[in-house]
Amino acid sequence: MSPAALPDPLLIAQHWREAGRDVAIATVIETWGSAPRPAGSYLVIDGEGNFEGSVSGGCVEGAVITEALDVIGSGEPRMLEFGVADETAWRVGLSCGGRIRVRVERLA
């Protein structure tokens, strides 16, 4: 599928909200070194764990989805950081040498 044919995660988030779903959005706000997705990349998650988009790939996205479900429940935004300096980096898939910072917030 060409990049132009990929669904826009922000439009999907809007559609989900209009359908009455609880939704969180994860946004890559900063990257350092080698990172799989650039700043401004989005991952949208609903209250049942459905998701669209990408902030990194691999296990990082699984960790972001888990955090997003907590954010949906609490309403409190979170700032997440993944990178090789973090002892969990190898576990969550950023062994490429980069770091990313991701903000997760519930959409009202």
3-state secondary structure of 83: strand
- Distance CA(108)–CA(97), nearest Å, equals 35
Q: For tokens 């979170």, what's the residue?
A: 78
Closest CA to 82 of 66, 65, 99: 99
Mean pLDDT, range 20-27, rounded to an integer: 97
pLDDT at residue 6, as a whole number:
53
Most confident of 21-25, 54-58, 83-87: 21-25
pTM, entire model = 0.83
Locate the domains of the chain by residue range.
Answer: 3-106
**Residue 16: pLDDT band with limits 50, 70, 90:** very high
pLDDT at residue 99, as a whole number:
85
Mean pLDDT, range 27-32, rounded to an integer: 94
